[in-house]
Every structure is written in C-alpha cells, then in structure tokens.
Amino acid sequence: MSSVIVDIKNLKREFRMGVETVKALNDVSFAINAGEFVTIMGSSGSGKTTMLNILGCLDKPTDGQYMLDGINIGQMAKNELAKLRNQKLGFVFQSYNLLARTTAVENVELPLLYNNKFSAKQRREKAIKALEAVKLSDRINHLPNQLSGGQQQRVAIARALVNDPVMILADEATGNLDSRTSYEIMMLMQELNNDHGKTIVFVTHEPDIALFSKRTITLKDGKLLKDYINTNVQSARQMLESLPAISEILTPAS
Amino acid sequence: MKLTNLLRIAWRAINRNKMRTFLTMLGIIIGVAAVIAMTAIGEGSKQSIQSQISGMGSNMIVIRPSSNVTAGARLDNTTVQSLTEPDVTALQKDAQFLNGVSGSVSTRGQAINGSNNWTTNMQGVAPDYLQIRVWPLTDGVAFTDQDMNTANKVCLVGQTVINNLFPNGEYALGKTIRFKNIPFKIIGVLIAKGENTFGQDQDDVILTPVTTVMKRLLATTYYQTIFASAIDENSTDKASDEIENILRTSHKLQKGTDDDFTVRTQAELISSLSSTSQILTILLTVIAGISLLVGGIGIMNIMYVSVTERTKEIGLRMSIGARGIDILLQFLIEAVLISVTGGIIGVALGITATKLVTMFIHWPTLVTQFSVVISFLVCFVTGVFFGYYPALKASRLDPIEALHYE
C-alpha cells in the first residue's frame, strides 16, 4: 500500500467580499497517494487556484481538514507553513519566476538557502544534481535571459526538485509555452513521475495536458465534479516524436 | 536562516543593480566624507592651538597681583604690589599639587656686546622656571639656587638675543654681555621656541636669577608674576584652588575681602581659544549630518522602489519557504550593506580630501578615530532606520498576492 501524501476531507474555503461570502471551495474531499500524477482541471472560477494555494500551504482552509504527508495544516502558524513549503513542496509556476540576473544554479539553490541543514557545498552539489535531472547540466551558469522559455521552465522544475519534496505542484506550467516545448516539459514530468517516483499535482485548464496524467480531478463551482483514473495515459515522448520535425517544416516541398 | 546566507542573498541583490546601488550610496558617501573632512579640519585647528599653548607648558599657572581696594582707592593692576618672596616660600612649602614655583620680575633695556646692541627683556626667574615653561637649553647650564642666593650676574639667553648680539655666529657661551651697564656672564643658551599664539617672539629674552634683577636692577622686593606648574594637567584646577588658599593665608586676607592676586591656568586659556573652533566644528558637523540624513532618505526611497519592483520575487521566496523575518532581514541587510559600504567609501574619500587640504591649502587637519567610528555607527543606524519600513512592508506581503503581482 502506498502512503497518503494529500488527505483532504470536507474542505471549505470562503472569502468575504464586503457583505457577501464567496464559497471558493465547498465541501471537497479527495486523497492523493505517493507516486501519483494528478491533474486538477476546471474552468476559471471553478476554485482550482484556491485549491492549489491550499495544497501549496500558501492558504489555509476555512473549514475541513487538509493533511499533507501526515501533518495537519489547519492549526499551523505562518512560519511553520513556510518551513513546510520549504521542505515538503516544490512549486512550478506558469511564468517560471526565476530571479533575473541570477545564474541557473543559483536559482535552483534558492530553496536550500532557507534551510539551515545544508552547507554551501551541499547546496551546490544538490543544485547541480537537480539540473542534471532536467537535462540542463550544460547550462548551469547561464542567466535566465540566455535561456529559452522551455529551458527556463526546466530550471524552475529543477528548483522544485532540489529539496526532495513529497509533492511537486505545477500551476499552468505549460501555459506560456508552445506545444512542442509543452510536450517536452510533460515528457520531463512523466519521467520524474515514472522513473523517480515523484508525486506530481498539475493544475491546468488545458484538457490535452490532462491526457498525460494518471488521474484527473475536475472542479466546478467549488465542488468536485469528476475524479477519474486515466487508463489510457498518453506518452509525451511519443507525441513529441509524432510531431513533424522542424527540418520537415522548413524544407520546401519539391 | 543563517546570517551568511542572508548576506549572500543581499549581496547578490545589490550586485544585480550596480549602478543604482552606487547612486544610492552616493548620498551616504558624500555625507560621510563631509563629516570626516569637516571634523578633521576642525580638530586640526583645535589641536594646533592646543599644542601651541602646551608649548608654553600646559601645566603652567600664572599668578599676578590684581587690583585691591586700598583705603577706598582701587589701584591699577600694574601698580599693585602684593606678591613677595614669603609667598613663593609658602607655596613651595605647603602646596601639594605644585612641582615648581618661580617668582618673576622683568625689565626692558639695552643689551650690549661689543659694538652690537639689542633692546630686549630681561626676566628674573628662579631655577624652576625652565621646567615650568618646558624650556630646555641647547648649550651650557642653568643657574642654581646658589646663584639665586648671591644674586649672581649670570644669564641664559634666547635665540633672538643671540642672533642680534652675536650676528656673525660667534660662540656666545662664556661671553660677558652688558645689560643696563651691568655685566652678565652667559652660562647657557635657550632652545628656540618661536612665536606664541599671540605672535610674540618668545626667544627675545634674557633669563637671569630673579634676585639679581630685584636687587641690582630694580631695587624692589615685590614680584610682578609668580609662575608655577601643577604636577599634571588634570590637577591644574586643584592646584589653582590650593594657590588661592595659601596666598590668602600668606596675605592675611579676611573672609569677604577680594583676592589681591589672580590665578590663571593654561587650561582656561586653551578652553577659551578652542571654543571658537569648537563652534565651527559643531556647525560643520551639523551640515554634514544633514547630508547624511538626505543620504538615508535616498536609501529609503530606493528600498521602497526595490520592494515594489521585486514583489514577485518576494512572493516566490515566500512560496519556497522564506518566512516573514527572512524577507525582513534580507531587505534590512541590503539597506545596511548599502549604507555601510557607502560609509567605508565615504571614510576613504574623507581621509583623502583631508590629506589634499593639508597638502594644498596647508591647513592643519586631524582625522580622529572618534569621527570614523561615529560615521560608521551613523551609517549603520541610517541603514537600519531607513531600511526598516520598506523591509517591513516586504515581509508583510501576502505570498499569493505577491506571486500574482504584475
């Protein structure tokens, strides 16, 4: 039996907008086990961003329970949440959020700077290892503006991996990328999931991205609409190979 | 979070915006350089006044007769005769804070050596006088108590007198000169002292036993002045009080009557002369301080801009585990790093400016450790004070909002 990473029971999140109360999440329950690759889908206003914020320990539920790796989030103070984000989670954002004029390896080191356990030497070693895992070991001293969008996102993924998190949270991580680069990123995600056993939660509104995950949770109006296991997982590698090669596109038909 | 990590983060952030950081520092640099240079110039002039006065003997105490009411008529200071030999003896015997006492009278007249003559001062003093004035001999020996007792016709001559009576550089020691037709044998030559603070030539003098002047030249039993020296600079005030008590007893003055003498210490002279330069120093420092304040406001301004500009970065840092305090310290250290680095450059610049002032305008300057330490401290405090509010603002950002800030 695999261990439970996320355990959400009757989760509610309400926002006060003046006199009105908006129920962004209304009684949602699900669990995610270690090694799963889950996409959370939903149109805008469905509550998926709120769900991501709560999963990422950036926000706390109004009611209900959220256990992350056996720890109850509801009762935690701000600083304890920060520590949890630092040691248990890895974030990948739509807009990469790399520090400008800072080399790839320094960007990847960042989460470890907020953890006193690691020496400068250990930080550098772990960062280089993470960059190797995303196949960027030849770009460690490049600055973000010297990297393509896909490469920048891979640096961001390396940054999410560097602290060995129990779960990687991706927020529209392919939203800024063209389809070829998106497939490359998804291929990397599938590799991390299959070969390294990383638990991945991917929030997206693009249905074709969900095809690469093993399970899809769909939210609508703050409620769980669908939760199904994808029996026919697409391989991003195959998709990538089926795309016409760039040389084919550029070669004029004779 | 470790301090070294915080320093590393702040240093990277500063490095990312070198030009802006430098311009922000400029306010601090100019402020600190101004403080250092201004206080150095002020201190320098103060110090040069003090050293000139100390040259006269910083422990020196001068006792002069002063006006006293005699039979209802207030007499002029110069005609008052109240200091006598028993006063000197009493001071020598009873004073604990004095280590030298010398009665003194002086008279002006013509000194003659062969065909050369020179009008100068002959000052009669006791052997203690040389020690009181811190005035060594270049040649020969000082006269002794024996010379005092016999009112011996021996003298010590100053450089100006030597130059005028022996214009061709003859060897003066052992020669006999005449002063008011009385022959005096030169037994010592005084070291050149130069001009004093008031522009008087201190070397235009012939020193001789006070008894000689009193008995052979002036036929008086009163001293014009008594010179004394306190055992050290800090006890001049105590010594001055002591002298007053002893002299009042010796003069048998009743309670309630005025002193018939005045006691002046060098410390009083120093403080009155340095107070002018002190005011100047304070003024200059205030102006420099204002420029530091302006520099501090510059830092605050840039830190606010920086926090707003880096809202997204703050959001990211929070999402990967930075606590509020980490963000606060990051920006605070950044501000302090800017201000203290500015301070270091400012001190270097200030010292350079000071050296240039001395080199080209020949003003006396003195960079005090105090001004350097104070400058650093002020820079540090400026950084903390003006960096704190922007840093606090940064640390209180909501990570979710900060992440989605555009």
pLDDT band at A192 (very low <50, low <70, confident <90, very high): very high
Structure tokens at B335: 């501000």
Dihedral sign for Cα atoms in the order B19, B25, B30, B32: negative
User: B9 to chain A, minimum CA–CA distance in Å?
Assistant: 9
Give the pLDDT mean for B149-169.
90
With an 8 Å Cβ cutoff, are A99 and B324 in contact?
no
**Residue A199 pLDDT exceeds 90:** yes
Give Cα separations from A161 to A53, A85, A185, A204, B314 (angstroms): 19, 12, 14, 20, 20
pLDDT tens-place string over residues A86-145: 999 999 999 999 998 889 999 999 999 888 899 989 999 999 999 999 999 999 999 999
CB atoms within 10 A of CB B76: 7
Structure tokens at A72: 């109850």
With an 8 Å Cβ cutoff, are B12 and A82 in contact?
no
Give chain B positions within 8 Å (CB) of A15: none
With vertex at residue B206, the alpha carbon angle to CA B76 and CA B141, rounded to the nearest 5 degrees, is 135
DSSP bridge partners of A68: A6, A71
User: B392 to chain A, minimum CA–CA distance in Å?
Assistant: 16
SS3 B168: coil
Structure tokens at B241: 């009080």
Which residue among B16, B319, B325 places its CB closest to the CB of A58?
Answer: B319
Give the pLDDT mean for B268-292.
76
Q: At what angle do helices A120-133 and A149-161 cross, to 10 degrees?
A: 130
Q: What is the pLDDT of residue A27?
A: 92
Question: Any chain B CB within 8 A of the CB of A121?
Answer: no
The DSSP string of B312-326 is HHHHHHHHTT--HHH
Place of tokens 């640096």: A155
With an 8 Å Cβ cutoff, are A53 and B317 in contact?
no
pLDDT band at B188 (very low <50, low <70, confident <90, very high): very high
Question: Any chain A CB within 8 A of the CB of B282?
Answer: no
Give the pLDDT mean for A201-206.
91
- Top pLDDT among B336 and B5 is at B336
Q: What is the pLDDT of residue B111?
A: 92
DSSP strand pairing (A37-41 vs A215-220): parallel
Give the pLDDT mean for B381-393.
91
Buried-exposed string A128-145: b where 16+ CB fall within 10 A, e elsewhere: bebbebbebeebbebbbe
Place of tokens 């989670």: A89
Give the pLDDT mean for A4-12.
93
User: B400 to chain A, minimum CA–CA distance in Å?
Assistant: 7
d(CA B157, CA B215): 20
Question: Any chain B CB within 8 A of the CB of A101?
Answer: yes
- The burial of B177, by beta-carbon neighbours within 10 Å (0-12 exposed, 13-18 middle, 19 or more buried), is given as buried
Give chain B positions within 8 Å (CB) of A86: 320-322
Assess contact for B287 and B357: CB atoms under 8 A: no
Consecutive H or E run containing B309: helix B266-309
Task: Choose among B127, B12, B25: nearest CA to B347.
Answer: B25
> Which residues does B306 contact at the CB level (< 8 Å), separation at least 6?
B13, B17, B331, B334, B390
The domain segmentation of chain B, as residue ranges, is 3-52+274-403, 67-259
Give the pLDDT mean for B191-198.
77
Question: Any chain B CB within 8 A of the CB of A79?
Answer: yes
pLDDT tens-place string over residues B230-274: 887 778 888 888 888 888 888 888 887 778 888 888 777 777 766
Q: What is the pLDDT of residue A1?
A: 41
User: A87 to chain B, minimum CA–CA distance in Å?
Assistant: 8
d(CA B137, CA B146): 19
Give chain B positions within 8 Å (CB) of A91: 319-320
Beta strands in B10-115 (DSSP E): 60-65, 69-70, 73-74, 83-84, 98-113
**Residue B149 pLDDT exceeds 80:** yes
How does the average pLDDT of chain B come out, rounded?
86
Give the pLDDT mean for B20-32.
89
With an 8 Å Cβ cutoff, are A83 and B321 in contact?
yes
Please state, for a pLDDT cut of 90, what percent of chain B lies above it.
30
Q: What is the pLDDT of residue A136?
A: 92
The domain segmentation of chain A, as residue ranges, is 35-62+75-242
d(CA B221, CA B260): 17
SS3 B184: strand
d(CA A26, CA A222): 5
The DSSP string of A17-84 is ETTEEEEEEEEEEEEEETT-EEEEE--TTSSHHHHHHHHTTSS--SEEEEEETTEESTT--HHHHHHH
Buried-exposed string B323-361: b where 16+ CB fall within 10 A, e elsewhere: bbebbbbbbbbbbbbbbbbbbbbbbebbbebbeebbeee
Give the pLDDT mean for A239-244.
85
Question: Which residues in chain B (321-360) have CB-CB distances under 8 A to chain A?
Answer: 321-326
Smallest CA–CA distance from B8 into chain A, residue: A113
Q: What is the pLDDT of residue B57?
A: 65
Task: Choose among A13, A9, A43: nearest CA to A29.
Answer: A9
pLDDT band at A248 (very low <50, low <70, confident <90, very high): low
pLDDT tens-place string over residues A211-241: 999 999 999 999 999 999 988 888 888 888 8
Structure tokens at A247: 């040389």
Which pTM does this prediction carry? 0.70
pLDDT band at B45 (very low <50, low <70, confident <90, very high): confident
pLDDT band at B278 (very low <50, low <70, confident <90, very high): confident
- Top pLDDT among A235 and B288 is at A235
Consecutive H or E run containing A12: strand A4-17
Dihedral sign for Cα atoms in the order B117, B120, B124, B125: negative
pLDDT tens-place string over residues A33-77: 999 999 999 988 899 989 999 999 999 999 999 999 999 998 899
DSSP strand pairing (B73-74 vs A215-220): unpaired
pLDDT tens-place string over residues B51-69: 776 666 668 888 888 765 5
Smallest CA–CA distance from B324 into chain A, residue: A79
**Residue A166 pLDDT exceeds 60:** yes
Question: Any chain A CB within 8 A of the CB of B7?
Answer: no
Give Cα separations from A48 to A14, A52, A94, A95, A195 (angstroms): 14, 6, 14, 17, 28
Chosen from A57, A97, A105 to mutate, greatest number of chain B CBs within 10 A? A97
Which DSSP symbol is given to B196? -
pLDDT band at B16 (very low <50, low <70, confident <90, very high): confident
> Which residues does B363 contact at the CB level (< 8 Å), separation at least 6?
B41, B44, B45, B357
Domain A35-62+75-242: CATH superfamily, name plus number: P-loop containing nucleotide triphosphate hydrolases (3.40.50.300)
